[in-house]
């Protein structure tokens, strides 16, 4: 499955590509629900970012293992979607239970975001990309982490802009979600400037 040996620069390119060029939120348009939902305040955006980074970094490799050692040997790759959702949901639930006991402070900060992350399509999408690009275990781990960082970058940038809307004079008909979508489109356009940086 691993055609070539991955060098350090390959990993670096993978990270740059996942964070900037193929940003999961702005270029691939996955995970737009939390992008609009939790970006009203910087606090929630930061909380969501750390939640996604943690869950995605763990569930990327987990789903890779599931596919490689469970689905492929038994030739049931067509059940990928189902199996991935199951693995992600169970992982998130487990994390929630453990964090609640071990660190109530962290649970208060991240707790409400964890159930949201279960249904975040950025997570499932990245897991699929891992398989589509035929990554090995380590590249899939790096790609998952970098994708989550890209998600966080876009979300925090967006929240920073959105916080300023509070004090801006916005035309009446597009207040709220309307101006949010316009801004999201503009940030997405600006991220197109990275296209062509890496093949």
Partner 1 sequence: MIELLKPTIYPIIIMGGMGAIFALGLGIAARVFYVYIDPRIGQVEELLGGANCGGCGYAGCSDCAEAIVAGKAPVNACILAPPENIKKIAEIIGVTVEVEEEKKVARIMCRGTPEKAKRRFQYMGIEDCRAAALVAGGDKDCEYGCLGYGTCVKSCPFGAMSMGRDGLPKVDEEKCVGCGTCVRVCPRGVPHLLPVSQKVYVPCNSHDAGKIVKEICEVGCQGCGICRKNCPEKAIIIDKFLSIVDPKKCIGPDASCGGKCMDKCPTGAIQRIIS
Binding residues vs partner 1 (CB under 8 A): 66, 70-71, 74-76, 79, 82-83, 86-87, 90, 93-94, 97-98, 100-102, 104, 166-169
- Residue 109 CB, shortest distance to partner 1, in Å, is 13
To partner 1, the closest distance from the beta carbon of 51 in angstroms equals 18
Distance in Å, CB of 80 to partner 1, minimum: 11
Looking at beta carbons only, is 62 or 146 nearer to partner 1? Answer: 62
Contact in structure between 186 and 157 (CB atoms under 8 Å)? no
Q: Considering only CA atoms, which of 75, 58, 197 is closest in space to residue 130? A: 58
Q: Report long-range pairs for 104-107 (Cβ below 8 Å, ≥24 apart).
A: none
State how far the Cα of 79 lies from the Cα of 41, in Å rounded to an integer: 38
Distance CA 90, CA 154 (A): 27
Backbone angles phi and psi of 42, in degrees to 5: -65, -40
Helix (H, G, I), strand (E, B) or coil at 74: coil
* Listed residue (192, 183, 59) closest to 129, CA to CA: 59
Cβ pair 53, 121 in contact under 8 A: no
Q: Using DSSP, state whether 186 is helix, strand or coil.
A: helix
Q: Which tokens is 41 given?
A: 């305040």
CB of 186 to partner 1, least distance (A): 20
Indicate the residue among 67 and 147 with the shorter CB distance to partner 1. Answer: 67
Of 64 and 151, which CB lies nearer to partner 1 in the complex structure?
A: 64
Question: What are the DSSP E strand ranges found in the chain?
Answer: none
Based on CB atoms, which residue is closest to partner 1, 101 or 199? 101
Provide, rounded to whole angstroms, the least separation between the CB of residue 100 and partner 1.
Answer: 5
Residue with Cβ nearer partner 1 (166 or 172): 166
Closest contact distance (angstroms) between CB of 149 and partner 1 is 28
> Quick one: 8 or 74, whose CB is closer to partner 1?
74
């Amino acid at each position: 499955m691993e055609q070539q040996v991955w060098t350090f620069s390959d990993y670096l390119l993978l990270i740059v590509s996942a964070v900037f060029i193929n940003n999961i939120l702005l270029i691939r348009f996955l995970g737009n629900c939390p992008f609009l939902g939790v970006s009203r305040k910087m606090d929630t955006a930061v909380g969501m970012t750390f939640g996604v980074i943690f869950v995605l970094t763990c569930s990327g490799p987990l789903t890779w293992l599931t596919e490689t050692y469970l689905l492929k040997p038994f030739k049931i790759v067509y059940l990928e979607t189902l199996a991935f959702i199951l693995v992600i949901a169970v992982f998130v639930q487990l994390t929630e239970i453990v964090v609640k006991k071990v660190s109530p402070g962290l649970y208060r900060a991240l707790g409400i975001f964890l159930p949201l992350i279960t249904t975040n399509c950025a997570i499932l999408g990245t897991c699929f990309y891992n398989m589509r690009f035929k990554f090995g275990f380590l590249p899939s781990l790096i790609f998952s982490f970098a994708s989550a960082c890209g998600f966080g970058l876009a979300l925090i940038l967006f929240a920073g802009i959105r916080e300023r809307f509070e004090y801006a004079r916005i035309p009446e008909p597009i207040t709220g979600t309307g101006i949010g979508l316009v801004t999201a489109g503009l940030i997405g356009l600006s991220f197109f400037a990275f296209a062509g940086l890496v093949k």
